[in-house]
Amino acid sequence: MLQRLQIMMKSTLSFVRLRVTDRATARELELIGELRANCKRLPDHVVTGESDAQNTWSKVSNYFRYLIATEDPRRFLTWPHLQTMVVGNEEYVEPELIHLKQSPDWLTRWSPSMAESSVGQPLPYPAYPQSSGNLIHHAYHLCRFEEVTGKLVDEFDFVAEFGGGYGGMCRLFHRLGFDGRYLIFDFPEFSCLQQFFLKSLDLPVQSIEDFRRSRPGIVTVSDLVRLKELANAVDRSSQRSLFVATWSLSETSVELRREVLDLVSSFDAFLLAYQDKFGEVDNDAFFTEWKKTKTDIQWHHWPIEHIPGSYYLMGQKTNNR
């Protein structure tokens, strides 16, 4: 990830602005204004961190705010800045699409939920232009989870996602019928983008106060203290809770991931994906040891054959509620 981000920063010199040719609606202008105002309130990141990863993320975040302020956010998926952070037409999407099409409920469940929207101007996937590589990739994660656990994702009433990108996974959950409370934890800039994307699709983004009052809907947070507060409060009232982190958690420090995993230790189910190494950290050893501490979970742990060096770790409580 760090190497990709460094390449991305170099590529900004060749960035060509896209001209806006269609006039924004009143609702779009409102959401664009809200996104820009929310980002403007965030403090600038100081690029004097102790690690290259921290400095790179700071540069990326600062440049992201510049793009939001000067470019058309309705086309954010065309920005080189973000194209390296989402799945495009990667080779590994093809076997995932094949797997989805072979699913018994392809026509009734997966195909309808994978119809792409125009928000962000996503790149269509050539072999299935109704969707995008990113959306197909997300659908594959959820399909595999349902296959190995026997649980539909829309059966949960609380989902906590660590690292939500621009909100694509959250959108897919709701397309599949999820109507509970969905919490996304991410960097502040991405929390702002998630709100813009999800509100553009008329999904129920709400305030932290409404979310705390047990109202169904979506909330985005970027503060670890607030994450702990909401996750603990909601999990106690939840009948079925799911924690989702696809590669995001395995790209954090060991200290942070332990803190987050302790926070969600009482959850009913887990959907994790990770790469074998992150810097000097042996992720496979870390997650293998961590799952041993969760003896109440029936685990499914296997290498992702079409993405060498990556693994799935999924499971659900043996005494399902």
Asked whether residue 250 is domain-assigned, the answer is: yes
pLDDT given at position 58? 72
103 domain residue, yes or no: no
* CB contact at 8 A, 194 and 164: yes
- Residue 188 sits in the same domain as residue 79: no
Average pLDDT, the chain: 88
Instruction: Specify whether 203 is located in the same domain as 270.
Output: yes
Instruction: Look at residue 100 and tell me if it is in a domain.
Output: no
For residue 98, tell me if it sits in a domain.
Answer: no
DSSP state of 253: -
pLDDT tens-place string over residues 106-127: 999 999 999 999 999 999 999 9
8-state DSSP, 205 = B
| pLDDT value at 320 more than 60 | no
Query: Do 155 and 303 lie in a common domain?
Result: yes
Supply the CATH number for residue 166's domain.
Answer: 3.40.50.150
Number of structural domains (the chain) is: 2
Q: Are 223 and 303 part of one and the same domain? A: yes
Asked whether residue 269 is domain-assigned, the answer is: yes
- State the Cα torsion 171-230-256-261 to the nearest 10°: -80
Q: Looking at the structure, do residues 160 and 274 belong to the same domain, yes or no? A: yes
> What are the tens digits of pLDDT across the range 149-187?
999 999 999 999 999 999 999 999 999 999 999 999 998
pLDDT of residue 19 exceeding 90: no
Task: Sort strands 158-162 and 181-185 into parallel, antiparallel or unpaired.
Answer: parallel
Question: pTM for the whole thing?
Answer: 0.89
Q: For residue 83, what pLDDT is reported?
A: 65
Comparing 94 with 8, the larger pLDDT belongs to 94
143 lies in the same domain as 75: no
185 and 45 belong to one structural domain = no
12 and 149 part of one domain: no
77 lies in the same domain as 152:
no
Tell whether 159 is covered by a domain. Answer: yes
In the listed set 83, 104, 121, which residue is the last one of a domain according to the structure?
83
C-alpha–C-alpha distance, residues 318 and 321, integer Å: 9
Give me the pLDDT at residue 43, please: 82
Indicate if 230 and 295 belong to the same structural domain: yes
276 Cβ contact partners less than 8 Å away, ≥ 6 residues apart: 282, 283, 284, 309, 310, 311
**121 is a domain residue:** no
Task: Tell me: do 265 and 141 sit in the same domain.
Answer: yes
Q: What mean pLDDT do residues 19-37 have? A: 86
236 pLDDT exceeds 80?
A: no
pLDDT at 55: 64
What is the extent of the structural domain holding 276? 135-317
Identify the band that residue 212 occupies on the pLDDT scale cut at 50, 70 and 90: confident
Each residue's pLDDT tens digit, 50-89: 656 566 667 777 888 889 999 999 999 998 767 666 887 8
In whole angstroms, how large is the CA radius of gyration of the chain?
19
Which pLDDT band holds residue 312 (cuts at 50, 70, 90)? very high
In a domain, 70, yes or no: yes
pLDDT of residue 18: 33
Residue type (1 letter), 232: N
Instruction: Give residue 16's pLDDT.
Output: 32
Both 66 and 194 in a single domain?
Answer: no
Q: Are 125 and 155 in contact (CB under 8 A)?
A: no
pLDDT at 92: 93
Last residue of a domain, one of 47, 68, 83: 83
d(C-alpha 13, C-alpha 236), whole Å: 49
